Chain A
Amino acid sequence: MELRRVSDVLWEIPRQGGMRVPGRVFAGGELLVKAKEDRAVDQVAGVAHLPGIRTASMAMPDIHWGYGFPIGGVAATEVDAGGVVSPGGVGFDICCGVRLLASRYTAADFEGRREEVMLELGRRIPRGLGKGAIVSGIRLGDVLERGAAAVLEAGYGWDSDLERCEERGTSAGARPGLVSDKALQRGAGQLGSLGAGNHFLEVQVVERVEDPDAAAAFGLAPGMVVVMIHCGSRGLGHQTCQDQLRVMGPAMSRHGITVPDRQLACVPVRSPEGERYLGAMAAASNFAWANRHVLAHAAREAFAAAFGTAPERTGMRLVYDVAHNLAKLEHHVVDGTDTLVCVHRKGATRAFGPGHPDLAPDLRPHGQPVLVPGSMGTASWVLRGVNGNPAFASAAHGAGRLMSRTAAKRVETGHAVREELETAGISVRPHSVGLLAEEAPYAYKDVDEVVSVCDRAGLAAPVARLRPLGVVKG
């Protein structure tokens, strides 16, 4: 696949064959080499076949191979010109995302109560295989309708949380009736659980602030202990995507659409099937917002128990909660015209710039917080959206995998990885030690390089670098 250099951090795949637009890969150096090696670049070209796609099929610096869409893929289709919605452009883990909490504690405070904090988190955060969830007895239909607002009313979290959530923690247009019985059964025992794989809850410290004004507005300060949570819609979302993909193939044929990969199955946004997908997706998203909201509540209770205080005295205010697997209808200027597009972000994060009306007033002057977790044991970052973003207001979502799980397990054992992390001062509470090697730092790309490319490419600007102190994993 030919790549033409536009700049050190932007490479273009020229239109060819059935591509309706070019491909654009925001990457450079080693990140670009790896993207070419695992064929993720080929997938960028495949996405460019989607009907109604505008400007380019894009990929963020943490791009790697996915299903149909690459992980780190961004594609915007023009809604009123036959543009399509593709469940593969959202992913099975609908509304997977990241939540970040501030606190009143310093690293020294944490060191004094490290064992207690990790013990309390280990007790209160369900994770890994099998059932186990914080919330039971709540009407699931209400959660699917209203997301974080539903669990807030049930007594989880704080009122102030919602203004610091993307979509205020409620995806509009949710149609809970489109979520299948199977999805409901899977989700029934999972509200308030991390899951497994690359999902985690991590205690971190703000190691370095690059943008003091934005950091202060976000609620961050140098040396502050923070808590980052990465998870999504669990089995309910996975089943919803599976259910929608099943019908999407035949529906696509009825609309006369063909795509180079079955996982790129799609239908026009303005079609009964497209509207049903978006309604089901919004309902599953609401489960994810509620899930992270409940886990944050549990994290506050854990710190309170460890420090012998009340949750409301921990200072654990919400910095932000962002999704990185979602399709959203947004207005963007395309070729000089305000255009309604369906922006698919598959392993990519929304990154609205300063002044955007959807941002809370205290965030609006600085832009939207963008949360970029690194791999276990390495740094994570807080960025901010910037104006003039060339990718439909999108930025990276993480470090991106470098090697397969099988290959990662051949490098070291889970016990060795745990030992190395503990030696580096990072407490680890895994559900399964044996699987830790799959999530080891060496299995992921360099998150600092990902962030550097985001900055140089005008996708998002760095605000603060976070260093891990302890991790709870599935």
Chain B
Amino acid sequence: MPGTWRLFSHTADTGIEARGATLGEVAAAAVEGLVGSMFGHPPGTPTGASMEAAVPGGEPGEVLVELLAEVLFRFEVDDVVPFEPSVETDDEGAMHLHAVAVPSSGLEVVGPPVKAVTYHELSVEHRPDGWHARVIFDV
């Protein structure tokens, strides 16, 4: 299950802040934030094929950027976006995304397409109240 996310203002681009009880939850929330910055939620329960994506372990911020970049790649090449995401992690910090791949063509557009995931002011850290992530997207 994902945590929570919100958009924040940036002069030229979009940023999200995500929170979760675990690293996996905050990563899933970040995936929801990436998708939510571009598309509205489909009506009812999202339906589609299963989407899986895996990123090897490393520094949490770098791994999250890779995961979000993979989501972006699938969107541009396969025209699908992930809904109902969940992310498993292991001791090395690898991330494995499970989601429903919904075709983007039928979705409401709420924001410009994201071009890339930046490292600018990137932060993924564990605090006393859980995991926090901050990522800026180039749009």
Q: B-contacting residues of A (Cβ < 8 Å)?
A: 38, 40, 64-68, 71, 91-93, 128-131, 182, 185-186, 189, 195-197, 235, 238-239, 241-242, 245-246, 249, 261-263, 265, 401-407, 432, 434-435, 438, 474
| A10 to B113 alpha-carbon distance, docked (Å) | 36
Please tell me which one of the listed residues B62, B104, B112 contacts residue A130 in the complex, with CB atoms under 8 A apart.
B104
Let me know if B125 is at the binding interface, CB within 8 A.
Answer: no
Contact flag A93-B115 (CB < 8 Å), given A67-B136, A401-B12: yes
**B9 and A129 contact, CB distance less than 8 A:** no
Closest to B15 in A: A404
Contact flag A129-B12 (CB < 8 Å), given A67-B118, A92-B115, A241-B116: no
Q: Out of A186, A189, A265, which one reaches B73, CB within 8 Å?
A: A186
When distances are taken between beta carbons in the complex, the residues of chain A under 8 Å from B112 are 196-197, 405, 435, 438, 474
Say yes or no for B110: interface residue by CB 8 A criterion. yes
Q: Kindly name the residue among A67, A239, A261 whose own CB sees the greatest number of chain B CB atoms within 10 A.
A: A67
Q: Which residues of A contact B111 (CB under 8 A)?
A: 405, 435
Residues of the A chain whose Cβ atoms lie less than 8 Å from the Cβ of B138? 67, 91-93, 238
- In the A-B complex, list the 8 residue pairs whose CB atoms are closest, starting with the nearest: A67-B120, A404-B9, A92-B116, A262-B119, A263-B120, A238-B115, A238-B116, A65-B11
Taken together as a complex, chains A and B put the C-alpha atoms of A223 and B8 apart, in Å, by: 43
B66 to chain A, nearest CB (A): 8
- Report which of A195, A238, A263, A404 forms a contact with B10, defined as CB distance below 8 A: A404
Please state if B119 and A263 are interface contacts (CB–CB under 8 Å).
yes
Contact residue among A38, A197, A263, A435 (Cβ-Cβ distance under 8 Å from B109): A435
State in angstroms the CA–CA spacing of A378 and B111 once bound together: 23
A129's contact among B13, B109, B117, B121, by CB below 8 Å, is which?
B109
Q: B122 → chain A, closest Cβ, in Å?
A: 6
B109–A242 contact, CB under 8 A? no
| A93 CB → nearest B CB, Å | 6
A242/B117 contact (C-beta < 8 A), A130-B104, A407-B9 known: yes
B14 within 8 A of A: yes
With contact pairs A130-B79, A239-B73, A404-B10 given, residues A432 and B120 touching in the complex (Cβ less than 8 Å): no
Q: Tell me which residues across on chain B come within 8 A of A262, comparing CB atoms.
A: 119-120, 122
Chain B residues 32 to 77 lying within 8 A of chain A, measured CB to CB, are: 38, 62, 66, 69, 73, 76-77
Smallest Cβ distance from B121 to chain A, in angstroms? 8
| Residues in B whose Cβ lies below 8 Å from that of A432 | 109
Nearest B residue (CB) for A402: B11
A277–B112 Cα distance when bound, in Å, is 28
Residue of B10, B12, B79 near A131 (CB, 8 A) is B79
B110 contacts A65, C-beta separation under 8 Å: no
For B118, the closest partner residue in chain A by CB is: A67
- Whether A261 contacts B120 by the Cβ 8 Å rule is yes
Interchain nearest-CB distance for A231 vs B (Å): 12
Query: In the complex, which of the residues B8, B12, B69, B73 has the most CB atoms of chain A within 10 Å of its own CB atom?
Result: B12
Does B1 sit at the interface, judged by CB under 8 A?
Answer: no
Which residues from A are CB-within-8-Å of B118? 67, 92, 263
- Within 8 Å by CB of A186, from B76, B104, B110, lies B76
Chain B residues whose C-beta falls within 8 Å of the C-beta of A406 in the assembled complex: 7-9
B120 to chain A, nearest CB (A): 4
Contacts of B10 in A (CB 8 A): 65, 404
Minimum distance in angstroms from A385 CB to a CB of chain B: 26
Within 8 Å CB of B79, what residues of A? 130-131
Chain A residue contacts of B13, Cβ below 8 A? 67, 405
Bound Cα distance from A474 to B115, whole angstroms:
13
Residues from chain B with a CB closer than 8 A to the CB of A265 are 119
